[in-house]
Homo-oligomer: A and B are copies of this chain.
């Protein structure tokens, strides 16, 4: 257990280091923060903190920097959430309140805005849409056997796919069934319809309406599946380059980190969180060694009752956690309320 003074000093070191990016020494700390005990005392406490592996030296005669364990301790015990300025709250609310036809537009815009405000990289994962409902399903004939299937869902998204009808089939032979689908399925959750399709029930019903339902079912299923595909929005990707403390960066590392964020699966894995509030992971706690020098803050949100949405921030371990965490949770809350509209 750390004494109050030790905690104070640890927090001070993290504060200083976060600001200046330089190892902080006892004298600097004393002068900078007007502490009422001497550099020598600070040195003594520092060697205790170092013993506890909460801070470390880059070399024998250097000042201290926080270790990853030190950040961890800080996050778990010392951090006091910054107040988000009223101005910022207003800004966030205003932006998010805007009118977006499509949920994806809103989420993309949110990611961009969060990235801008923090200077970090923002991730927004749309949840698996359990409650997403079918708004309409239509077939549109393009030419001869070319048909366009269009599925609209309650989040405003339109999924479409062209396909070729088997020779003997005409579009009009399908209209009954399209009508049936619209009568029966509109307003029902996509996921529910998908499971209906697996459970023989729908196929049986359909076969009364269509001669060869198999091909059609496959098409319908494909479009349904694509409409609930999980999607990832990223804002401020290039902020990932701002890890280095100097003006030059390692080409290979920079490339691999940026490449990592080109893979939606990888991003999804990175941002995953179970907790109900902001979760912070850093360095070796992250699932990839590529991000040893990064930290990720993640907060859940829900879309119209569906759980599983995540809004997250990625940045260098040395970052102003208090401020950033607070901003993130403000965004998460704003999304939570706004997204009740997209049921």
Contacts and interface: CB of A to CB of B under 8 A. Distances in A.
Contact of A162 (B156, B161, B244): B156
Interface string A245-261: 00111111011001100
A152 B142 contact: yes
B259 A251 contact: no
Contact of A142 (B135, B141, B247): B135
Nearest to A158: B160
A140 interface: yes
Interface size class, chain A = 20 to 34
Contacts of A242: 251
A142 to B, nearest CB: 5
Interface string A147-173: 010101000101011100000000000
A22 B255 CA distance: 24
Nearest to A139: B138
A6 interface: no
A109 B305 CA distance: 37
A143 interface: yes
A148 B254 CA distance: 43
A247 B250 contact: yes
Secondary structure of the A side of the interface? strand
A101 interface: yes
Contacts of A160: 150, 158, 160
Contact of A247 (B101, B138, B148, B252): B252
Interface string A206-250: 000000000000000000000000000000001001101001111
A249 B244 CA distance: 11
A136 interface: yes
Contact of A254 (B136, B140, B249): B249
A142 B158 CA distance: 11
A241 B248 contact: no
Contacts of A141: 136
Contacts of A252: 247
Given A142-B152, A247-B252, A248-B250, 5 more contacts: A101-B162, A136-B141, A148-B152, A249-B249, A249-B254
4 tightest CB-CB pairs across the interface, nearest first? A158-B160, A248-B248, A135-B142, A136-B140
